[in-house]
Structure 1
Amino acid sequence: MTQSRSSQAISLLLTPMQIPEALPAESGLQPGSWVGAGAIASSPSLSLLLRPGEPSEMVVQIRNLGAHSLRLTLQVEGTFPQEWCQVGMEGTEVPMGRQMEAVLRFYLPTDFFEQHQAPRPGETLKLNYQGHLTVHSLEPESGWQQTETASFNLYVRPHSLYPKFLPAIYSEVDFVGRFLKVFEQGFEPAVQTLDSLWAHLDPLTAPGALLPFLAHWVGWSMLPQISLDRQRHLIRSAISIYRWRGTRRGLRFYLHLVTGLPLDEHLPDAEKHIEISESFSRGFVVGTANLGEDAILGGGRPFHFTVNLRPDYVDQIDEALVRRVIEQEKPAFCTYDLFVKAPEYQLCCYTSQPCRLSRLSGSKLATVYS
């Protein structure tokens, strides 16, 4: 709905782009009411709906009815904070008999309702505002000036879903929508949680505060030494780790999740980032074994395996954590050796090109655990 006013020089036509579905009971003005000479009254047809976090616009059409070009200046004032409104214009001059459009853009902070403190007894949060548009016209040739004003209402309302489920007659009462919003704000988060319950039960998408519960659900102990992203993958893969516990496959998979090293299933064992090799021999068999070649007397270690880790860069591996994982996953009767082999190449700090790392005697670039 629009409201217009014509005078000797210019006419104004205001069109709100967002119209409230219901108006407060105190807005008793009717369309066509006048307040003083040369002013358009504030009426339901000139009411703009404002929602926090959403832009709202009032289109202003200005037609030049005079016989000369006019230079225009727009000014917006009211009971609302000035930073809410911005004025956009196509230009400043309107030729004779032509029309120009301007836009009053309103934007409220997203946290408009949250940033206010709880009102004291007897106080209410102000949601209804008044605005006044003043258009100053100047005829450059004669210097003749004229001022036209228009008033409009601004109603701040939260976005509400519940009134849509009621008969249409209730949407005509402004209080009903605001009253239902109180219940919607308290109940809707629970509904949204139920709609996305699957995401709360998946460790990869669950909120961080819910991870300890999900870990306890599958009997998993959180590892504070590693990142939260790796924690999520470990919790999600806990059942697979339990299923393959005590095997080489299970230990490689666990080390892959903890260290971030790839499994490299397509590479031979000697080139994998995580290599686990077992020692198999028939031992000393009289008549078939050659002493010193394929058999030894004493010092043998049955049920022994070797873990070789090949990180891509230095300090990628938390060796204490890796040792803890191996001790936890291996059979109790097994022994092992752990070798963390430092990379031979890494990016140079100065040229960003691969450069060979120096291997010094006694350096921590290559460490051996046994």
Structure 2
Amino acid sequence: MVQSRSSPAVRINLTPMQIPEAVPGAGLAFTKPDSMDATAQSLVLHPGEPSEMIVQVQNLEQRPIRVSIKVEGNFPVDWCQIGTEGREIPPRGQMDAVLYFTVPASFFEDQQAIIPGQKDKLNLDFRSLVAIAIDSGTDAEQIQHSDYFNLYVRPHSAYMEFLPVLYREVDFIGRFMKIFEQAYQPAIDSFNVMWANLDPLTAPKALLPFLAHWVGWQIDSVWDLDQQRRLIRRAVELYRWRGTRKGLRLYLHLYTGLPLDEDIANETDKHISITEPFGPSFILGTAQLGSAVLAGGQAYNFRVCLRPHHPNIHLNEQLIRRIIDQEKPAFCTYELIIENFSN
């Protein structure tokens, strides 16, 4: 509903862009017709959320006029900004202006509305008016005032959406429901993100020892935080592949960050290369002795070659050897080669 006031020169219409529901007197709209006019002249402000009031100024005269708009009230001046399309209105024309209201998001926390000297009373209801100054072409200006409209600062309550419309229109119920929302919503929000507390990649640092104990993983201070998160998350997979080439490559990948290169078929071309240095079988004429190793070969021996793809990657050789000793079969021996980065 729109509130209006007529004058010999202009007509002023005020239209709130948000439908005020839970404001004082709104719940009586069906029983008292006057309360509906009071609701139409009201604007609810939620801290941290913008609210708008449209001001339509119609020129009722046959000549152009110039107007200026200002807002007065008992609220802080920095809450309101005025946006206009200009100052001149053509004959029988109309000019629209927008009153942008923004209450600081920390309004209730900072208690900016407490009035000194009034027993620390928190003021949530304000009165305002729109002042129209009309330039009549003479030295004197004619001032036209619209009727007062009300500003109500209220906390936004999502719980009101679960109530019937009849109860949403009662201001006391909206403020009463906000008490329960502030009491229970933190627990609900925590429950909704509980999955993040059980994922080592997103869990708080304080929960990592619990998650590591859950999967039987020993936390080592040698590893940085990101490495520990990755290792705990894939601990069960490392257990499953322990003693195999795949398990060792995965462990080295989690530490070094080097790619697994699963799409590369040739083992020697991978950034983490694990090979067995066996040459061709010994061939004597047409007789082949299978995979027999003669003259210098070493059984159960493998070679680990790491090829950093970036010069800023620093690898701890002692820690890498510790990883290999932990993951390889006890009877195997190995060689470790860490190549220098080259373009």
Give the shorter-chain TM-score range. 0.7 to 0.9
1:59 alignment partner AA: I
2:73 to 63, 78, 103: 78
- The aligned residue for residue 102 of structure 1 is 97
Conservation of the 8 A alpha-carbon contact between 1:31 and 1:44: no
Deviations 1:267-326 (A, max 9, x none): 3111110011235699xxxxx99xxx9324xxx865433211000122413214423322
* 1:92 match: 87
Aligned residues: 326
**Amino acid paired to 1:216:** H
Matches of 2:184 and 2:314, distance apart in 1: 47
Tell me if the contact between 1:69 and 1:139 (Cα under 8 Å) persists in the aligned partners.
Answer: no
Instruction: From the superposition, tell whether residues 326 and 315 of structure 1 become closer, same or farther in structure 2 (CA, over 3 Å).
Output: farther
% identity of equivalent residues = 51
Q: Distance in 2 between matches of 1:172 and 1:191?
A: 26
What TM-score does the superposition give when structure 2 sets the normalisation length?
A: 0.81
One-letter amino acid of the counterpart of residue 9, structure 1: A
Q: How far apart in 2 are the matches of 1:107 and 1:215?
A: 48
Counterpart in 2 of 1:269?
A: 267
Q: Which moved more, 1:75-84 or 1:193-202?
A: 193-202
Q: Which amino acid aligns with 1:157?
A: R
| Pairs within 5 Å for 1:253-332 | 253-267=250-264, 268-279=266-277, 294-296=294-296, 302-319=299-316, 320-332=318-330
Q: Report what 1:145 is aligned to.
A: 141
Taking structure 1 as reference, are residues 260 and 74 closer, same or farther at Cα in structure 2, changes over 3 Å only?
A: same
Query: 1:17 deviation in Å?
Result: 1.0
Give the equivalent residue in structure 2 for 1:240: 237
Task: Tell me if the contact between 1:31 and 1:43 (Cα under 8 Å) persists in the aligned partners.
Answer: no
Question: Is the 1:20–1:155 contact (alpha carbons within 8 Å) kept by the matching residues of 2?
Answer: no
Partner of 1:250, secondary structure, is helix
Separation in 1 of the partners of 2:104 and 2:222?
40
Structure-2 separation of matches of 1:111 and 1:162: 21
- Distance, in Å, in 2 between the alignment partners of 1:329 and 1:204 is 23
- Alignment pair present for 1:158 and 2:148: no
Matched, 1:22 2:22: yes
Give the root-mean-square deviation of aligned CA atoms.
3.5
**In the superposition, relative to structure 1, how do residues 340 and 192 fare at CA in structure 2: closer, same or farther (>3 Å)?**
same
2:339 is matched with 341
Measured against aligned partners, the alpha-carbon deviations of 1:33-68 in whole angstroms (never above 9, x if no partner) come to 9xxxxxxxx943211011123221000000112332
Q: CA deviation at 1:246?
A: 1.9
Aligned with 1:65 (options 42, 60, 70): 60
Structure 1 residues 208 and 14, CA gap change in structure 2 (3 angstroms): farther
Letter matched to residue 313 of structure 2: Q
Q: Distance in 1 between matches of 2:74 and 2:326?
A: 69
SS, match of residue 246 in structure 2: helix
**Residues 26 and 170, structure 2, Cα contact 8 Å, conserved in 1:** no
SS of the residue 1:189 aligns to: helix
Structure 1 pair 27–163 and aligned structure 2 pair: CA distance change class (3 A)? closer
Please report how far the alpha carbon of residue 125 of structure 1 lies from its aligned counterpart in structure 2 after TM superposition.
3.4
Deviation at 1:133, TM superposition (A): 1.8
Show the counterpart of 2:284.
Answer: none
Moved more, 61-70 or 222-231: 222-231
Distance (Å, rounded) in 1 between the aligned partners of 2:34 and 2:173: 27
Aligned to 1:348: none
C-alpha displacement of 1:83: 2.0
Partner SS state of residue 109, structure 2: coil
Ranges in structure 1 where 5+ consecutive residues have no aligned partner? 34-41, 283-287, 346-370
Q: Deviations over 1:165-221 (max 9, x none)?
A: 334443232122112111111212222333343344333444555444333322234
Give the structure 2 partner of residue 201 of structure 1.
Answer: 198
Match of 2:42 in 1: 47
Distance of aligned partners of 1:220 and 1:156 in 2 relative to their CA distance in 1, 3 Å threshold: farther
- 1:10/1:64 contact within 8 Å kept: yes
Question: What is the SS of the residue equivalent to 1:323?
Answer: helix
Q: Does the CA contact (< 8 Å) of 1:307 and 1:339 recur in 2?
A: yes
Q: SS at 1:313's partner residue?
A: coil
Letter in 1 for 2:57: I
Mark the CA change 1:161 to 1:344 in structure 2 (over 3 Å): closer, same or farther: closer
3-state secondary structure, aligned to 2:122: coil
